């Protein structure tokens, strides 16, 4: 089962780059389809997320926010894959 994952971030964001790399590293064990959302393209998203990016939504739920670490991300992907 492929899980839908959304990564909210912005350009030139080191924490966002790390989250993207973690997702890529986990893709083999936890298949997912990644959609990246640039919060600078939407004023409402920017106001909502600017101070907590990256934010990862897995299966439509806000699951994690900065800082993103491998173990909680893997656990969230595993749980979403069971649904």
The pLDDT of residue 35 is 97
Q: Is the dihedral of CA 18, 20, 25, 26 positive or negative?
A: positive
pLDDT over 80 (residue 83): no
Picking from 54, 24, 22, 23, the residue whose alpha carbon sits closest to that of residue 37 is 54
31-75 pLDDT per residue, tens: 999 999 999 999 999 999 999 999 999 998 878 999 999 999 999
What span, in angstroms and rounded, lies between the C-alpha atoms of 28 and 47?
Answer: 34
19-31 pLDDT per residue, tens: 999 999 999 999 9
Domains of the chain: 3-82 (3.40.30.10)
pLDDT over 80 (residue 1): no
Strands (E), the chain: 3-9, 32-38, 55-58, 61-65
Picking from 54, 49, 48, the residue whose alpha carbon sits closest to that of residue 67 is 54
For the entire predicted model, the pTM comes to: 0.93
What span, in angstroms and rounded, lies between the C-alpha atoms of 83 and 20?
Answer: 23
Which DSSP symbol is given to 27? T
């Amino acid at each position: 089962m492929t899980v839908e994952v959304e990564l909210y971030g912005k350009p030139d964001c080191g924490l966002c780059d790390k989250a993207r790399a973690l997702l890529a590293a986990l893709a083999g064990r936890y298949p997912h389809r990644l959609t990246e959302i640039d919060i600078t393209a939407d004023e409402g998203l920017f106001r909502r997320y600017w101070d907590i990016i990256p934010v990862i939504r897995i299966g439509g739920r806000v699951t994690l926010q900065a800082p993103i670490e491998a173990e909680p991300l893997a656990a969230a992907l595993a749980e979403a894959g069971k649904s």
